[in-house]
Amino acid sequence: MNCKSRYPLVPGRNQSINHGDASMSVAPAPAPARAPLAPRAPLHGRARLCPRPPRSFHEHYDEHDALVPEISLARLTVHEDDVVGRGAFSECFGGVLDGARPVIVKRYLDVRGRDVRSFYVDDLESARGTRNCDGVCPFAGACGVERWLVWEDVGRTTLEDALVEGGDRAMETVRAALGRRVGEDDATTFRAAFASLARSAASVHAFDFIHRDVKPANAVLHEKESRVVLCDLGACADARTGRNMSGDEAIFDPTYGAPEQFRRVETRGGGFPNLGGLFGGGTRDGGMRLEASGEPPTTMLDAYSLGATLLRCGVPSLRAPGAMERARRDIDACGGDVERWRREVCVPGVNDWSLVDETEAWTTIVRLTKVDPRERWSLERALESDAFLSGA
Ligand SMILES: Nc1ncnc2c1ncn2[C@@H]1O[C@H](COP(=O)(O)OP(=O)(O)O)[C@@H](O)[C@H]1O
Ligand SMILES: [Mg+2]
């Protein structure tokens, strides 16, 4: 880790701002209510945003859109010592399909008191529904009885890895993983990576899905195609079927989540905010709790999360673990106004804004992180007319 500074604050000011521990959160955590199946709406914009035909890897499985691509256990070898990622409810390993094809396999863990099966089903249904979408990791299928979900291995480095391991030199890591020209300047890499990530999120929208968990850890650097694609569709909302479209089952990471999804509720005593729910592990006494606002999800959630991701990548002092969580709390303490936060909270001359300013990404960050979703730019609009995102 070679970030020199970790988002320093104006001395004295940070006392007035709560910096609780940062954890993934879902609040509250009811058993997911399944909306009745609605007839499929036409996929508006799909042709424009997803111009590629389905890749050959999928064609084999695509005879019936409604079928889960099923992989027999005999075809899959899982390398449990090759850990790709771990979360609260799942772990991902490297593996091989049909003796030759490298894959990423995900297994859901049994967690007492949690309906992990519904997470598995959500992940599977979203992977199935978006498997012709080129903005997500290519899905290979399900294996075993609610056991493995399998994706083609297109690269092991996430944007999170690049930020944490690369620190000040994160763009170099991104450049190398995407196989871009050695010696390319950081601004060009930054622009290309984010235009690609924004296109990927927009292509999810073109399938009438809302990702709801756009963040660096879910952005995979696709090494073969030099693109940034999304993984972890477990929190996806599906506008075609109504799955996860109820606003009171909000799933979000509070560091990247749009403000309209939740409100902070003070529990007795005040003090540190605490993130209850699915990943947060309940409410802490004397703290703050995040509560779902009840707003049904819209594609503007992903626009906000992409804006927050862009901010973290653009400013080296926000790349270290924990720095963005603190910054987000300060941004929220400024009423969500990132311009005010930059002006009043960030120490002048300490944070390095050169990448963000030089590329005009600051304007993009401001547009995508507007508190009011009616003022916020959608990814589709930004890809068309925002200088930073449309220029790459
Ligand atoms: N298809 C994939 N390709 C590459 N890496 C992946 C893939 N799926 C998951 N990962 C890695 O595993 C981590 C955890 O998987 P994820 O699906 O995000 O589960 P969780 O719900 O625990 O966040 C990711 O952050 C990423 O590093
Ligand atoms: Mg994830």
Is 231 a pocket residue for ligand 1 (Cβ < 6 Å)? yes
CA of 91 to the centre of ligand 1 (A): 8
- Residue 320 has a pLDDT of 97
For residues 279 and 202, membership in a common domain is answered with yes
Provide the pLDDT confidence category of residue 138 given band limits of 50, 70 and 90.
very high
Query: What are the tokens at 62?
Result: 């695509």
Gap from CA of 217 to ligand 2 centroid (Å): 6
Q: For ligand 1, atom 17, which residue shows the shortest CA distance? A: 232
Is 50 exceeded by the pLDDT of residue 53?
A: no
Q: Report CA(109)–ligand 2 centroid distance (Å).
A: 14
pTM, to two decimals: 0.83
- 41 domain-assigned: no
End-to-end CA, the chain:
29
Ligand 1 atom index nearest CA of 119: 21
Residue-wise DSSP of 178-241: TTPPTT--HHHHHHHHHHHHHHHHHHHHHTTEE-S--SGGGEEEETTTTEEEE---TT-EETTT
Domain boundary among 152, 184, 201: 152
Q: Does residue 238 sit in the same domain as residue 366?
A: yes
Give me the residues paired with residue 78 across strands. Answer: 95
CA distances from 356 to 6, 107, 312, 360 (A): 17, 38, 10, 6
Q: What is the mean pLDDT of the chain?
A: 82
- 101 versus 22: which is more confidently predicted? 101
Residue 137 beta carbon below 6 angstroms from any ligand 1 atom? yes
Same domain, 202 and 242: yes
Q: 289-342: per-residue pLDDT in tens?
A: 888 888 999 999 999 999 999 999 999 999 999 999 999 999 999 999 999 999
- Mean pLDDT of all residues in 142-160: 94
> Within a domain: residue 100?
yes
**Nearest residue (CA) to ligand 1, atom 4:** 156
Give yes or no: residues 360 and 247 share one domain.
Answer: yes
> Highest mean pLDDT range out of 6-15, 21-30, 349-358?
349-358
Q: Does residue 356 share a domain with residue 324?
A: yes
pLDDT for res 172: 98
**Closest ligand to 219 CA?**
1
Looking at the structure, do residues 357 and 278 belong to the same domain, yes or no? yes
Lowest mean per-residue pLDDT among 50-54, 215-219, 245-249, 347-351: 50-54
**Cα 218 to middle of ligand 2, angstroms:** 5
What is the per-residue pLDDT for 8?
Answer: 59
Tell me, using a 6 A CB cutoff, whether residue 138 lines ligand 1.
no
Contacts of 101 (CB under 8 A, 6+ apart): 140, 152
Residue 33 pLDDT > 80: no
Check pLDDT > 80 for residue 51. Answer: no
Q: How far is the CA of 287 from the centre of ligand 1 (A)?
A: 30
Look at residue 122 and tell me if it is in a domain: yes
Is the shortest distance between the CB of 116 and ligand 1 below 6 Å? no
pLDDT in tens, 234-285: 999 999 999 999 877 766 799 999 999 988 887 765 444 433 333 333 334 3
